[in-house]
């Protein structure tokens, strides 16, 4: 499908995908692996697709262009979802130069052991395409891998942004103005929260660097999901907001329960929070019943979280351990936290959750709440008090 003038989408829309990065990222709405072909006086292919679709992609590419006419292959980022087609393509055109960053070459060699005609590029290097157009490279390390770069097509004013500004979102419509805006917003936020949160500093720096170049941007073509052609910089503005310690007026309770006692605690604490602040959005997620990436998106939106677990085998439940590990790795900033849980005789869970929240960089407002066995009316009132007090402590910290 033509994107603009002599630029064509030659990627693969993956309607089937429900898990990405192994089991690390849920893709409720599928995804796409966006590959682009530029046909000016020179013909340049940008990125490939995930290997299960490599042969299908190559066949389609051959029906679009004579592979022998390709003058250059640009690999913006070499994670498997974009580089999987490269070995198959390069069997057909082994001498064609492959443009990538220094790390890009290292990663392609590491993944596929290919000795290709590598052209290592840095920011400002370019390919003259003819017809007065150039493809200019911009390195973007850690957005989100060390090998990542972007490129800008002069004349057409297209930024090829690779993973940045993308979404795991399958659609035949291809452009941002043609798809359901709610779905698009949800997938953009989930993508940022689950993939780019740890790199907020680099996101801000790189966006400001690109904005500082003063280049006109008519279109942003990411490597997943739809292309931004209507008000393309709207997603850039959102990224700047999200990278700036983003939070909403939301408190999220994440818990797991064995025999419902910790669930009752969660609901009573939530009631206490709502008593103390009728405006704050309170959401509860039983971690063993919830999609972890959706939960992470809610954590991203929250100003504070409360994590609860029953005690088992002198520790906490596996689903709680899993989300705490996700939270640690994502390096959230500027968020408050607390812990709670029911226990029978030893009750280590709350202390252990506290320790993990500290390690994850959350600011803990208290030492948490432990209740033995099933909370009776008096203990349920304790939970509500804990919720009310949690709001008071958050406000006190904010006013400090």
**Chain residues in the site for ligand FEO (CB under 6 A):** 77, 79, 81-82, 144-145, 163, 223-224
Is position 113 annotated as part of the catalytic site?
no
Marked catalytic residue, from 16, 21, 325, 397: 21
Q: Give the residue ranges of DSSP H helices in the chain.
A: 54-64, 80-83, 86-92, 102-112, 181-191, 200-212, 234-242, 261-276, 292-301, 318-330, 349-359, 377-398
The gap from C-alpha 186 to its chain's centroid, in whole angstroms, comes to: 11
In the complex, least distance from residue 28 CB atom to ligand FEO, rounded to whole angstroms: 17
In the complex, least distance from residue 193 CB atom to ligand FEO, rounded to whole angstroms: 15
260: alpha, beta or left, given left = phi > 0 and alpha = psi -120 to 50? left
Marked catalytic residue, from 76, 82, 168, 224: 224
In the complex, least distance from residue 25 CB atom to ligand FEO, rounded to whole angstroms: 10
Is position 144 annotated as part of the catalytic site?
yes
- Whose tokens are 């033509």? That residue is 2
For ligand FEO, the closer CB: 118 or 199: 199
Which helix (H) or strand (E) segment is 8 a member of? strand 7-9
For ligand FEO, the closer CB: 223 or 262: 223
In the complex, least distance from residue 154 CB atom to ligand FEO, rounded to whole angstroms: 25
In the complex, least distance from residue 329 CB atom to ligand FEO, rounded to whole angstroms: 15
DSSP 154-194: TTTTEEEEETTT------SS-BGGGS-HHHHHHHHHHHIII
DSSP 258-284: SSSHHHHHHHHHHHHHHHH-SSSEEEE
For ligand FEO, the closer CB: 67 or 142: 142
Q: Long-range contact list for 205-208, CB < 8 A, 24+ apart?
A: 206/138, 206/140, 206/143, 206/164, 207/236, 207/239, 207/240, 207/243
- Whose tokens are 């994440």? That residue is 254
For ligand FEO, the closer CB: 31 or 252: 31
Cα 370 to Cα 341: distance, rounded to the nearest angstrom: 5
Is position 76 annotated as part of the catalytic site?
no
Question: Are the CB atoms for 219 and 165 separated by under 8 Å?
Answer: no
Marked catalytic residue, from 33, 191, 316, 343: 191
For ligand FEO, the closer CB: 74 or 317: 74
Is position 163 annotated as part of the catalytic site?
yes
Per residue in 140-149, is it b (16+ CB within 10 Å) or e — as a string? bbebbbebbb
Marked catalytic residue, from 14, 105, 139, 163: 163
Marked catalytic residue, from 76, 82, 144, 168: 144
For ligand FEO, the closer CB: 163 or 268: 163
Cα 294 to Cα 231: distance, rounded to the nearest angstrom: 27
Closest residue to ligand FEO, judged by C-beta, is 79
Marked catalytic residue, from 81, 139, 187, 268: 81
Is position 224 annotated as part of the catalytic site?
yes
Marked catalytic residue, from 14, 40, 47, 79: 79
For ligand FEO, the closer CB: 206 or 263: 206
Cα 147 to Cα 335: distance, rounded to the nearest angstrom: 30
In the complex, least distance from residue 77 CB atom to ligand FEO, rounded to whole angstroms: 6
In the complex, least distance from residue 33 CB atom to ligand FEO, rounded to whole angstroms: 8
Q: Which residues are marked as active site?
A: 21, 77, 79, 81, 144, 163, 191, 224
């Amino acid at each position: 499908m033509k994107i603009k003038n002599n630029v064509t989408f030659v990627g693969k829309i993956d309607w089937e995908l429900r898990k990405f990065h192994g089991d690390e990222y849920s893709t409720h709405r599928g995804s796409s692996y966006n590959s682009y072909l530029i046909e000016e006086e020179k013909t340049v292919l940008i990125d490939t697709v995930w290997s299960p679709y490599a042969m299908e992609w190559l066949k389609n590419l051959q029906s679009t262009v004579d592979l022998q006419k390709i003058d250059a292959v640009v690999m913006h980022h070499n994670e498997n979802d974009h580089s999987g087609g490269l070995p198959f393509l390069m069997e057909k055109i082994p001498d064609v130069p492959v443009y990538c960053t220094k790390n890009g070459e290292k990663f392609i060699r590491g993944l596929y052991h290919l000795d290709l005609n590598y052209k290592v590029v840095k920011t400002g290097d370019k390919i003259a395409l003819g017809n007065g157009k150039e493809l200019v490279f911009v390195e973007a390390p850690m957005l989100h891998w060390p090998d990542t770069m972007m490129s800008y097509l002069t004349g057409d004013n297209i930024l090829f942004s690779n993973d940045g500004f993308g979404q795991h979102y399958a659609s035949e419509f291809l452009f941002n103005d043609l798809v359901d805006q709610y779905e698009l917003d949800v997938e953009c936020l989930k993508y940022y929260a689950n993939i780019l949160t740890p790199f907020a500093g680099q996101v801000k720096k790189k966006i400001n660097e690109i904005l500082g170049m003063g280049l006109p941007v008519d279109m942003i073509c990411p490597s997943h999901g739809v292309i931004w052609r209507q008000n393309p910089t709207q997603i850039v503005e959102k990224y700047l907001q999200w990278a700036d310690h983003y939070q909403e007026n939301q408190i999220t309770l994440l818990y797991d329960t064995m025999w419902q006692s910790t669930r009752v605690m969660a609901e009573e604490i939530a009631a206490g929070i709502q008593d103390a602040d009728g405006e704050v959005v309170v959401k509860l997620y039983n971690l063993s019943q919830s999609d972890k990436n959706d939960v992470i998106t809610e954590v991203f939106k929250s100003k504070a979280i409360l994590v609860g677990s029953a005690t088992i085998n002198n520790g906490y439940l596996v689903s709680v351990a899993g989300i705490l590990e996700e939270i640690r790795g994502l390096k959230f900033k500027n968020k408050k936290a607390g812990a709670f849980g029911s226990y029978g005789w030893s009750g280590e869970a709350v202390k252990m959750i506290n320790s993990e929240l500290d390690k994850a960089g959350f600011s803990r407002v208290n030492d948490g709440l432990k209740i033995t066995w099933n909370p009776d009316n008096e203990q349920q009132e304790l939970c509500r008090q804990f919720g009310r007090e949690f709001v008071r402590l958050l406000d006190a910290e904010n006013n400090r």
